[in-house]
Amino acid sequence: MVDFTLSDENRLVQQAARAFAEAEILPHIREWDEKGEVHREIFGRMAEQGFLGAPIPEAWGGAGMDYVSFAILCEELERADTAFRVVQSVHVGLNSLALLQWATDEQKTRWLVPQAKGEKLATFGLTEPGVGTDAANLATTARRDGDSYRLNGQKIWISLADLADHFLVFASVDRSKGWRGVTAFLLERGMAGLTTGTLHGKLGIRAGNTGVIHLDDCVVPVENRIGEEGEGFLIAMSAIDQGRFTVAAGAVGLAQACLDASLKYAHERETFGQEIGRHQLVQQMLAKMAAGTEMGRLLVWRAAWLKNQGLRNTRETSLAKWHATEHAVQSAMDAIQVHGANGYSNEFPVERYLRNSKAAVIYEGTSQLHTVIQAEYALGYRQDKPLRCEPLPAQGWERPAGR
């Protein structure tokens, strides 16, 4: 039976995350966003709270949160600003949880533990110029050279690119094999041939770092390979399930922020002798915001429940991501409309919400991709085996038979 009653732990996480956001982010975010400033010291304070290892077991340096708590954490952080949920998505969802599932114990000790403790910051390098959603057709190559690989290529739109210490990077050992040639590697800053840069001029998420990774004959030891040759695509897709989950949860927080700001303004602003909240067409926008946000939250919590049970949740996570991110964009549009001309000014937060909301309908699978995914599930063209994954019963992915 699915039970969405929050546990005492869930409520404590919610309180701690909200208090953190109100103390550390909200007083400064307008200035940081306006100036495009990235404050890494905030990530250090997030680590002190256990946020950077939220769902990682305590045995590997994490906080051992369940997935409902992890969703609540992402929601509360993005309710303040998207840039800080992005850290949860990339450092935790895409990188650390992938290591938890696919890395050897030696690799976990070397890389996962310091990441979970927040001593090292991590990112995920899959997206390439000219590749985008076609992740099985990577141009980045990895050539075996004795006890090492030589990686060449470029990754783009990489969150935390100029801040990260660890990089989970995907390259093809044989492009003729398509997705079966994709292989995963853990790179460390300082490796010869690895350089990074920052992208400027972004529409939103200006308080977060986004950049590029250049690999120029980068020598990577064999022991830095995660999984076997050819398992990289499975590793990437299982990681993206986790990333999509965090994006969906964060989008619920952004939609909630839009609703909170709009409700406050609807009580304060008066026209024709009464609060604008009394006008039915304003109420219509507020009602849509409230309903869609609750729907998104329930979809996220359903995916979280499945994760806690160790059941495959690709379909449910895709649906949550699709609905929640599209709803966040619409909520931001409506929030600006409720605010009228004031919504067009950064005197109010809703214009930042709109700018931040747009990225999430592009990354972790565009809305168009999720439309196709959901249609194919509905039509029966796409089915997931109800796999369990031991010893990590969180995603339902496992290695192919015979590996």
> How do residues 24-44 score in pLDDT, each as one tens digit?
999 999 999 999 999 999 999
Q: Which fold has domain 233-379?
A: Butyryl-CoA Dehydrogenase, subunit A; domain 3 (1.20.140)
> How do residues 244-257 score in pLDDT, each as one tens digit?
999 999 999 999 99
Cis preceding-peptide flag for 393 (omega within 30 of 0): no
Inter-CA distances, 244 with 249, 268, 347, Å = 9, 36, 31
Closest-CA residue to 221 (of 307, 114, 144, 316): 144
Amino acid residing at 316: E
Active-site positions read: 364
**Across residues 61-65, what is the average pLDDT?**
96
- Give yes or no for residue 396 having a pLDDT over 80: no
Burial of residue 33 (number of CB atoms within 10 Å: 0-12, 13-18, 19+): buried
- Give yes or no for residue 387 having a pLDDT over 70: no
| Matching CATH number, 8-121, of 1.10.287.3510, 1.10.540.10, 1.10.4160.10, 3.40.50.800 | 1.10.540.10
> How do residues 125-136 score in pLDDT, each as one tens digit?
999 998 876 788
pTM flag (> 0.85): yes
Residue 351 pLDDT level (bands cut at 50, 70, 90): very high
Structure tokens at 360: 């999430």
- Give yes or no for residue 242 having a pLDDT over 90: yes
Per-residue confidence (pLDDT) for residue 131, from 0 to 100: 80
Q: Which fold has domain 123-230?
A: Butyryl-CoA Dehydrogenase, subunit A; domain 2 (2.40.110)
Q: Please give the mean pLDDT across all residues of the chain.
A: 94
Per-residue confidence (pLDDT) for residue 384, from 0 to 100: 81
Q: Which residue has the tokens 């250049």?
A: 214
Residue 385 pLDDT level (bands cut at 50, 70, 90): low
Per-residue confidence (pLDDT) for residue 386, from 0 to 100: 55
d(CA 47, CA 54): 9
Residue range(s) of every CATH 1.20.140.10 domain in the chain: 233-379
Closest-CA residue to 102 (of 124, 118, 87, 80): 124
- Give yes or no for residue 114 having a pLDDT over 50: yes
d(CA 289, CA 5): 22
Residue range(s) of every CATH 1.10.540.10 domain in the chain: 8-121
Other Cβ atoms closer than 10 A to 26: 15
Q: Which residue has the tokens 């897709």?
A: 237
> Residue 7's Cα: distance from chain center in Å?
24
- Give yes or no for residue 91 having a pLDDT over 90: yes
| Measured distance between the N- and C-terminal CA atoms of the chain, rounded to whole angstroms | 35
Per-residue confidence (pLDDT) for residue 184, from 0 to 100: 98
Q: Could you give the residue ranges of the DSSP H alpha helices within 172-313? A: 232-268, 280-309
> Residue 232's Cα: distance from chain center in Å?
19
Q: What percent of the chain has pLDDT over 90?
A: 91
- Give yes or no for residue 402 having a pLDDT over 80: no
Residue range(s) of every CATH 2.40.110.10 domain in the chain: 123-230
Q: Side-chain half-sphere of 364: how many Cα atoms within 13 Å? A: 33
> How do residues 269-311 score in pLDDT, each as one tens digit?
999 999 999 999 999 999 999 999 999 999 999 999 999 988 8
**Across residues 372-386, what is the average pLDDT?**
89
Higher local confidence (pLDDT), 189 or 391: 189
> How do residues 121-165 score in pLDDT, each as one tens digit?
999 999 999 887 678 899 999 999 999 999 999 999 999 999 999
Handedness of CA 67, 72, 75, 76 (dihedral sign): negative
Amino acid residing at 258: C
Per-residue confidence (pLDDT) for residue 270, from 0 to 100: 96
